[in-house]
Every structure is written in structure tokens, then in C-alpha cells.
Amino acid sequence: MFRWFTRMPLSILLAIALHLLIILAIFISFKMNAFSPASEASNTPTEQTIQAQSVPQSAIDQQLNRLKSADVQRDQTLKQQKSEAEKAQAAAEQAAAARRAEQARLQQLEAMREAKQQATAAQEQQLKAAQEAQKQAQKTLDAQQKALEKIQQETAQADAQKQAAQAEVAKEKSAAAAAKQAAAKAAQVSKQAAEKASAEKAAADKAAQAQAAKEAAAVAAKEATREKSAKEAADKAAKAAAVKARQSQESALQNQLQNELRQSQSKGVMDAYAAAIKNKVQAQWYKPPGWEPQWQCNVRISQASDGTVINVKVLQCDGDQLFQRSVQQAIERASPLPLPSDMSLFQSSINFTFQAKP
Amino acid sequence: MKARIQHWSLWVMAWLLMGLPMVGHAELNIVISGGQESGVPIAVVPFSTTTNTDFASIIRADLARSGQFAPLSTDQMPGQPSAPEQVQFDQWRSGKAQYLVIGKVEQQGASYQATFYLLNVSNGQQMAGRVISAPISAERSIAHRIADIVFKQITGVRGAFDTKIAYVTETDGPMNKRRYTLEVADSDGANPQTVLSSTYPLMSPTWSPDGTKLAYVSFEGRRSGIWVQDLRTGQRYQLTKFPGINGAPSWSPKGNKIALTLSKFGSPNIYVVDLDTRALTQVTNDGSINTEAAWMPDNQTLVFTSDRSGSPQIFEQASGSRSAQRLTFGVSYAAGGAVSPDGKTLAMLAGGNGGYRVAVQSLSGGGNDLRYISNGGSEERPSFAPNGTMLIYASQAGGGSVLKVSPLAGAGSQTLRFASGQVRDPAWGPFQGTEQ
């Protein structure tokens, strides 16, 4: 090794320098990829998310980064999280924040009831029902916007109901043992929730959250009214933890919703932008007779911020001069090109592929 | 070891150089497919002129005849400028025209002088600006020359509007005798000049490549013979007077030979006459009909019609070769072959269920890409414009026949207008002079 240094210091130095360059390049690529506000969180590994407040950020991060990725990854994270109750919580938070929040609350309440009735079987049935509801919700993906609105409303409702329930619980302090049991069961249930959560696709989350919120609200109301004795089992510590978890989950939910909304909006704006340009250029393309179906023309244009085409560069073009001119004319006549409704998405350089074949 | 490390370093460097610009950089890519098929929208604004000639309409008709342009009518024009400084480009950009031709024509003694401009509407650039003058008697040629320049600037192909066509007319003369004339006219049929008038049938004119002479078939003396006539002096001489058929002359691209059909030994065969030595060379030699020779650009190879395979088909045979290759397979009747100036396209008269129509195929395609150019069903042998973009042919219409021009690209045809009677056997002349 040392002989290398002595015999070829330049090469070694070059190699080291290139390594540094690569690392720098990767770092730059991360920076350059940073498009959405949530991307800062992408640098924080999921293992850190033990504290309830840090959890939602990783959840958002994963959501955003894996919106459409395979479920396999989620299964893996789920296995890790099963090892500890806290990790389970973390996993739970990786799932759709809204559903998780509601489910966690639901499960806490259910745990309290179980502490007395020990009717866990009933709970599992409810959870299964919730799962089915969520599957159904997956099918209604196109109602995303409505679901978003719904979930906001219903989250508010559920919050109010739960606050009421918890207020009652606070009044009646009861045995600590029962509280511990409740907490343990809450942890178990949250594990289940985590399994469910990670198994579900991100795209379905919003709609699923709406369903879950409904379920949670209904159950919470039932629990609050029917089983007042459950309040005795509630411990202050458990309450505090639950409140904390809920708060962080809710803020995570909010962030996620905002990010998803922003992403879907910017994608929509981008699509509309590209479509507007395509329509205008296509309407101006008069393809002269004598064209052949396989003819294709690739051009790159640059435009000023008002959409005025300032340069047309023909990269590759089949056909005769008349055909090539028709392509150039189409772009020049479409100038100024349409602008995006969000100017942050403006593209100063655009590639066009003209295909003679209709 | 050192070499290996350097090798490795080079790879890393290459990766860095290639990979870095891509990182985090997504460009917007837009695919435009189809578009609307249309001739190039062009506005030829009426020229400012003191003469009665409508130069702009001559240019418009020329460009439209090519099939590659769609000239706008004057009511589609937002203004009628005659000089670049008068053009309100913003107004024109909201219209359909992609290009704009403007100009003026003034009389200067016995000639006209035209100043014209070709402008690109979308970017306001001047693509051409020229002064052209011509004798008053040739005022239409000013418009054809402008059309040629416009055509060349936009398509990249030399225009063939300022060219001549030769053809034969047949009319009823005095005392019920048929009268035949050999005519030369502008490419749009205007300015017809009678080259020869005869009471005997005239047929099959062919141009010398320099455009100064015509060879044709005349039946004067009640026998067919090939004649050569100088268009400037009117002098003529008889090239062949063999027994039997003397027909279908075709002047070679270099001008030193004429291919023709003779039947002096019975069945018609293709021969070549050397114009310098008058030596006669027989090309085909069989008992079937071989006629309608046309030259490939190499000045050596001939295409011709033969029924040696049963029905008439077009064959190709090199001078000096004893074997011919069949070129047409797609139709039951293929005759009257003509070769495009670039040697890539064979035009013909194709017969079948739809009558006789002008068709083209590529000479390298094995006859698989035949496509019809005319749609009348009673057409005759076509002739290429010297730039290969158009074909002229006779077409039976009503009691007579007319000349039509069809573009190879696109569809449609323009009928050239003549006084009356039968008009047939058109031959499109060569480019006149050097390219402008």
C-alpha cells in the first residue's frame, strides 16, 4: 500500500480527489433533487424516530419518497418496529398520518375498555372492519380532494369527542394497574395498526384516513357514552402520552396533507403547462405534403420568461427542407408559448419531438 | 498496477463528466404528432405596378401547382404592402401566412423591372430580396422567376416554373382537313408559340437537354420519320426515314444521342442514333413490341415498354447489354415510362380496373411502392418537370383532351387552359439558363 503512495502519488491523490468529487456530486444531487419542502427530512434515518415528535417527519418523508413504491419496503420496516412498542409506534407513524392518528386514539380507547371487559376479540373485529373499510377506500382514489376535505372535518369532530372523553377520564382517577394494562394493550394495538398501516398503499391514505376517522369517531363516541367505567382505568401518564402522541400525529397529518396537496397541485400545474404548449404548437404545425410516416424532428427551444421563443435549435431531423421548415415555423408561430399558472414551474428550455405520423 | 489504477480513474472521470450534468435536471419534453397536412401557407401580395399584368396571381398559381404551397387569397391578407418597411408583422402573425411575398414592377423603357421580397412572417426575416428585369413581351417570365426563387428558398429545391413545355394540338382546319401543330408554351400553358403546322400528324416531341431543339415524329410524305428542329432558327432536318415505324424519340441527357423505335426488320425494337456520327445501334432484339424508350441519368441505360412477358410492362436495359430487367409488377398494364431527373422515380401510365392513370414508383423499390398521381382514368404518357416535383400529361376530357399538371407530393392537379381542340403529347423542357 505504501509502495503505491511512493510510486504513484499522483494517481492515488487523483483517486482520492475523485472519491471526494463523487461524494460531492452525490451530495449535490441530493440538494438538487430537493424540490419539495419535506425533502430536508429525507436525510434523517427512520431509526431515530423514537420520540413521538420526531416520528411524523420520517413518516412524511417516507410517504413522500415512496408514494408509489413497493409494499415490500414497508414490510421490512414493520418487522423492525415489531421489536419494541416504541418502534411500533414509529412504524405506525410511517403510515398515513391521519388514519394512524385516528386509529391510535381508537385503540387507546378500546384498550381502556379491554382493561375492564378484556374483550379484545371485539376490538380485533373492529380493526378488521376498519381494514376492509380502508380497502374499499383504496378503490375511491379519484375522490382524493373530497376525502381531504372530509378528513379535515372529521378529524375536528373526532378531536372534540376525544377531548370530551378524556376530560371525563381525567375526573375519575382509578387504579394504576388497570392503566398499565391499558397502556400495554395500547402498545399491542398500535403494533397491529403499524402492520396495517405499512401494508397499505400511500395513494389510498387520504381516502382511508377519512374512513378511519369516521370509524374512530363512531367508536370514540360509543366508548365515551357506554363505558364510563373505562375512565377509571385511565391513568394520567397514559393520558399525557396519548395526548402527546396525538398532537404529534396530528401535526404530521397536517404536514403530510399539505405536502401531498402541494405535490399534486404542482404536478397538475406542470401537466396543464405542457398540455397548453403542446396544443398551441400542434395547432400551428402545417405539415407539407410529401411527408413520410417515419419522419421525426427533435428540436430544443429556449424561451424568455414571457414565453417568447428566443432560440430554436434543431437537434436531429428527418425529411426534406420543407418538412424541417414546417417544424421550425410551428414553434415560431406558437411564440409566445403559454406560461404555467405557477411560475416556479416555468421551463426556460423545452425539448420537442415532432412526429410526422399522426 | 499503475495502469489499472489509471484505467479505473479514467472510468470515474468519465462517469463524473457524463453523470454530473444529468443530476437533478429534468427537462420538459413535449411530443407533437400528426399536425395538419397542408401546403405551406404563403401570402403573395398584389404587386404595386402600372401594368395590367397580375404578377402575384401568376406566382400564386405556380406555387399552388407544385402541391407544396397553399397561397392565400387576397381577402385573407391584413394589408397590401409592397416594401419591407410597410409590413406590419404583428398583423400578419395573427393570420395564417407563414411567408410573405411583396414587390413592385416598374417599366424601364422596353422592359419591366421587378423588385420583390420574400419575408418570414414569424420572425420578420428577409429570406430573399431581388431585382428582376425582362422584356415587356416576356413579362410573365418575371413572375415565374420570382416563383422559382421563392420555391427554392423555402423547399431547398430548384423551381421549375420558368420553363417551357412542348405539345401537339389537333384541330379542325379549313375544308374539314385536320390540322396539327407543334407548340411551345410557358410551363403554365401561357404564351403558346407554334413551332410547326402541318396537315399530317405530328407526335412525340422530345427536348434537347439545352432546350434549343425539339425532335418529333412527323407523318409528312405519308410516312413516319423523326425530325429535328432548331427552335431559334426554325431550321429542321429529317433524322430517320426507315421503312415501317419511326417513332417515340427520346433525347439523351447529354444531348449526343436519340433513342427511338424502328420496325425496319419487322417487330418494333429500340435503337439509338448517335447524333455526331449518325451511327445506329440496336438495343432490343426480339419478336415482341419494344417502344417508348426513356433515358436514365447515366446517359447509358434505357427504360422502355415491352409486351415480351404478355401484357405491356416497363423494362430497363443498359446500352451494350443484351438482357433487360422488368421494373413494373404491380399492375397488369404499365407503359409510357419516364424517369425523374435524379433517376430515383419511374413515372408511367398504369392500366387496370380504373382505366389508365399516371402512377409513380421508386426505381429501387421492385415495383412495390406504386402510387397513383392522377385520378381521371383516361390519361396518357407523363413527362417530368426538370426538378422532378411535377408531372405533365394529357387527359381525355369531353370530346377533346387537355393538359394537366400534378405534383408528386400531395394530391390534386391543375388543368392548363388552351383555346380548343385536342392537346396531347406534352414534353416538359429543361431548366432555362443557370439557377438564379
Same domain, A263 and A322: no
Asked if residue B389 lies in contact with residue B409, where contact means CB atoms within 8 angstroms, the answer is: yes
Going from the C-alpha of A148 to that of each of A92, A155, A202, A306, the distances in angstroms are 20, 10, 14, 35
CA–CA distance, A104 with B155 (Å, rounded to integer): 72
Number of domains in chain A: 2
CA–CA distance, B207 with B188 (Å, rounded to integer): 17
Mean pLDDT of A235-248: 80
Task: Return the number of other C-beta atoms located less than 10 Å from residue B411's C-beta.
Answer: 12
Judged on CB neighbours under 10 Å (0-12, 13-18, 19+), A204 is buried
Contacts of A274 in chain B (CB under 8 A): 28, 30
A51, three cell numbers: 420520540
Per-residue confidence band for A47, with pLDDT thresholds at 50, 70 and 90: very low
How far B66 CA lies from chain A's nearest CA (Å)? 10
Q: Are A282 and B35 an interchain contact pair (Cβ–Cβ within 8 Å)? A: yes
CA–CA distance, A104 with A81 (Å, rounded to integer): 16
Asked if residue A98 lies in contact with residue A169, where contact means CB atoms within 8 angstroms, the answer is: no
Closest residue in B to A324 (Cα) is B155
Mean pLDDT of B416-434: 85
Mean pLDDT for chain A?
71
Q: Are B122 and A22 an interchain contact pair (Cβ–Cβ within 8 Å)? A: no
Angle B394-B397-B401 (CA atoms, 0-180°, nearest 5)? 40
The CATH superfamily label for domain B40-155 reads TolB, N-terminal domain (3.40.50.10070)
Q: Give the pLDDT score at A43.
A: 43
A20 touches B: beta carbon within 8 Å = no
CA–CA distance, B173 with B154 (Å, rounded to integer): 46
A40-49, A144-153, A321-330: lowest mean pLDDT where? A40-49
- DSSP, res A284: T
Q: Looking at the predicted structure, is the pLDDT value of residue A325 above 80?
A: yes
Residues 304-343 of chain A with CB under 8 A from chain B are 320-322, 325-326, 329-330, 332-333, 335
Q: Looking at the predicted structure, is the pLDDT value of residue A329 above 80?
A: yes
Q: Which of A286, A289, A350 sits opposite B67 (nearest CB)?
A: A289
CA–CA distance, A235 with A231 (Å, rounded to integer): 9
Name the residue among A163, A168, A186, A196 with its Cα closest to residue A108.
A186
Q: Looking at the predicted structure, is the pLDDT value of residue A316 above 80?
A: yes
* Number of Cβ pairs < 8 A linking chain A and chain B: 150
Q: Give the pLDDT score at A228.
A: 66
Closest residue in B to A28 (Cα) is B23
Question: What is the crossing angle of helices A97-117 and A144-171, to 10°?
Answer: 30
- DSSP, res B157: S
Same domain, A155 and A53: yes
Contacts of B121 in chain A (CB under 8 A): 333
Same domain, A53 and A202: yes
Tell whether A348 is covered by a domain.
Answer: yes
Q: Are B34 and A290 an interchain contact pair (Cβ–Cβ within 8 Å)? A: no
Q: Give the pLDDT score at A78.
A: 57
Per-residue confidence band for B400, with pLDDT thresholds at 50, 70 and 90: confident
More confident residue, B134 or A111: B134
Per-residue confidence band for A22, with pLDDT thresholds at 50, 70 and 90: confident
A305, three cell numbers: 420568461
CA–CA distance, A131 with A106 (Å, rounded to integer): 14
Same domain, A221 and A299: no
Amino acid symbol at B14? A
Same domain, A177 and A104: yes
Q: Looking at the predicted structure, is the pLDDT value of residue A77 above 50?
A: yes
Closest residue in A to B35 (Cα) is A285
How far B69 CA lies from chain A's nearest CA (Å)? 8
CA–CA distance, B226 with B280 (Å, rounded to integer): 13
Same domain, A289 and A250: no
Mean pLDDT of A115-140: 64
Q: For the segment A201-211, what is each residue's pLDDT rounded down to a tens digit?
A: 555 566 656 67
Per-residue confidence band for A236, with pLDDT thresholds at 50, 70 and 90: confident
Contacts of A287 in chain B (CB under 8 A): 34-38
How far B293 CA lies from chain A's nearest CA (Å)? 28
Domain boundary among A267, A298, A327: A267
Torsions phi, psi for B423 (to 5 deg): -125, 125
Per-residue confidence band for B397, with pLDDT thresholds at 50, 70 and 90: confident
B294-298, B316-320, B363-367, B406-410: lowest mean pLDDT where? B363-367
Q: For the segment B91-134, what is each residue's pLDDT rounded down to a tens digit?
A: 999 899 999 999 999 999 999 999 999 999 988 999 999 999 99
Q: Which of B12, B28, B33 sits opposite A18 (nearest CB)?
A: B12
CA–CA distance, A18 with B333 (Å, rounded to integer): 73
Same domain, A85 and A121: yes
A2 touches B: beta carbon within 8 Å = no
Mean pLDDT of B53-70: 95
How far B187 CA lies from chain A's nearest CA (Å)? 22
CA–CA distance, A241 with A245 (Å, rounded to integer): 6
Domain ranges across chain B: 40-155, 164-428
A116-125, A197-206, A244-253: lowest mean pLDDT where? A197-206
Q: Which of B16, B35, B70 sits opposite A285 (nearest CB)?
A: B35
Q: Which of A15, A335, A353 sits opposite B5 (nearest CB)?
A: A15
Torsions phi, psi for A264 (to 5 deg): -65, -35
Q: Are A15 and B98 an interchain contact pair (Cβ–Cβ within 8 Å)? A: no
Q: Are B34 and A288 an interchain contact pair (Cβ–Cβ within 8 Å)? A: no
Contacts of B410 in chain A (CB under 8 A): 288-290
CA–CA distance, B258 with B215 (Å, rounded to integer): 9
ipTM score above 0.95: no
Mean pLDDT for chain B?
90
Q: Give the pLDDT score at A68.
A: 56
CA–CA distance, B208 with B185 (Å, rounded to integer): 16
Q: Give the pLDDT score at A14.
A: 75
Q: Give the pLDDT score at A124.
A: 66
Name the residue among B102, B107, B105 with its Cα closest to residue B92.
B102
Q: Give the pLDDT score at B3.
A: 47
Q: Which of B2, B31, B93 sits opposite A353 (nearest CB)?
A: B31
Asked if residue B284 lies in contact with residue B324, where contact means CB atoms within 8 angstroms, the answer is: yes
More confident residue, B218 or B52: B218
A118-122, B93-97, B169-173: lowest mean pLDDT where? A118-122
Asked if residue A87 lies in contact with residue A201, where contact means CB atoms within 8 angstroms, the answer is: no
Q: Are B32 and A14 an interchain contact pair (Cβ–Cβ within 8 Å)? A: no
Q: Give the pLDDT score at B21.
A: 43
Number of H helices, E strands in chain B: 4, 32
Q: For the segment B320-357, what is each residue's pLDDT rounded down to a tens digit?
A: 888 999 999 989 999 999 999 999 999 999 997 778 99
How far B24 CA lies from chain A's nearest CA (Å)? 5
B214, three cell numbers: 425539339
Q: Give the pLDDT score at B20.
A: 45
What DSSP string describes B250-296? EE-TTSSEEEEEE-TTSS-EEEEEETTT--EEE---SSS-EEEEEE-
Q: Give the pLDDT score at B340.
A: 97
Burial B350-364 (b: 16+ CB within 10 A, else e): bbeeeebbbbbbebe
Domain boundary among A217, A241, A267: A267
Mean pLDDT of A64-69: 63
Asked if residue A290 lies in contact with residue A322, where contact means CB atoms within 8 angstroms, the answer is: yes
Q: Give the pLDDT score at A326.
A: 93
Name the residue among B104, B115, B124 with its Cα closest to residue B51.
B104
Q: Which of B16, B36, B93 sits opposite A21 (nearest CB)?
A: B16
Name the residue among A242, A246, A206, A188 with its Cα closest to residue A96.
A206
Per-residue confidence band for A194, with pLDDT thresholds at 50, 70 and 90: low
Q: Which of B5, B23, B29 sits opposite A353 (nearest CB)?
A: B29
Q: Are A277 and B36 an interchain contact pair (Cβ–Cβ within 8 Å)? A: no
- β-pair type (B111-120, B126-135): antiparallel
Q: Give the pLDDT score at A38.
A: 40
Closest residue in B to A290 (Cα) is B409
Task: Return the number of other C-beta atoms located less than 10 Å from residue A153's C-beta.
Answer: 11
Q: Give the pLDDT score at A37.
A: 42
Angle B110-B112-B117 (CA atoms, 0-180°, nearest 5)? 165
3-class SS at B192? coil
Same domain, A104 and A237: yes
A88-97, B177-186, B264-273, B331-340: lowest mean pLDDT where? A88-97
CA–CA distance, B51 with B139 (Å, rounded to integer): 10
**In chain A, which ranges are E strands?**
286-287, 296-303, 309-317, 349-355
Q: Which of A274, A281, A288 sits opposite B28 (nearest CB)?
A: A274
Task: Return the number of other C-beta atoms located less than 10 Å from residue B191's C-beta.
Answer: 14
CA–CA distance, A100 with A104 (Å, rounded to integer): 6
Q: A329 lies in which domain range?
A: 284-355
Same domain, A84 and A125: yes
3-class SS at B134? strand
CA–CA distance, B272 with B282 (Å, rounded to integer): 6
How far A9 CA lies from chain B's nearest CA (Å)? 10
Same domain, A197 and A310: no
Q: Are A353 and B20 an interchain contact pair (Cβ–Cβ within 8 Å)? A: no
How far A271 CA lies from chain B's nearest CA (Å)? 10
Contacts of A32 in chain B (CB under 8 A): 23-25
CATH code at position A302: 3.30.1150.10
H or E stretch including B99?
strand B99-108
Asked if residue B223 lies in contact with residue B241, where contact means CB atoms within 8 angstroms, the answer is: yes
A104, three cell numbers: 391510535
Partnered with residue B280 across adjacent β-strands are B273
A11 touches B: beta carbon within 8 Å = yes
Q: Looking at the predicted structure, is the pLDDT value of residue A75 above 70?
A: no
Mutate to test the interface with A, among B8, B11, B25, B30 (most CBs of A within 10 A): B30
Q: Give the pLDDT score at B32.
A: 92
Q: Are B35 and A18 an interchain contact pair (Cβ–Cβ within 8 Å)? A: no
How far B350 CA lies from chain A's nearest CA (Å)? 21
Asked if residue A156 lies in contact with residue A212, where contact means CB atoms within 8 angstroms, the answer is: no
Residues 94-133 of chain A with CB under 8 A from chain B are none
Mutate to test the interface with A, among B5, B28, B38 (most CBs of A within 10 A): B28
- The fold adopted by the segment(s) B164-428 is Neuraminidase (2.120.10)
Asked if residue B206 lies in contact with residue B215, where contact means CB atoms within 8 angstroms, the answer is: yes
Contacts of A358 in chain B (CB under 8 A): 33-35
Q: Are A286 and B68 an interchain contact pair (Cβ–Cβ within 8 Å)? A: no
Same domain, A297 and A255: no
Per-residue confidence band for B66, with pLDDT thresholds at 50, 70 and 90: very high
CA–CA distance, B186 with B62 (Å, rounded to integer): 11
Q: Are A354 and B35 an interchain contact pair (Cβ–Cβ within 8 Å)? A: yes
Tell whether A38 is covered by a domain.
Answer: no
The predicted model scores a pTM of 0.65
Mean pLDDT of A135-139: 65
Asked if residue B358 lies in contact with residue B374, where contact means CB atoms within 8 angstroms, the answer is: yes
Same domain, A350 and A211: no
Per-residue confidence band for A152, with pLDDT thresholds at 50, 70 and 90: low
Contacts 24+ apart (CB under 8 A), B236-240: B236/B196, B239/B215, B239/B273, B240/B273
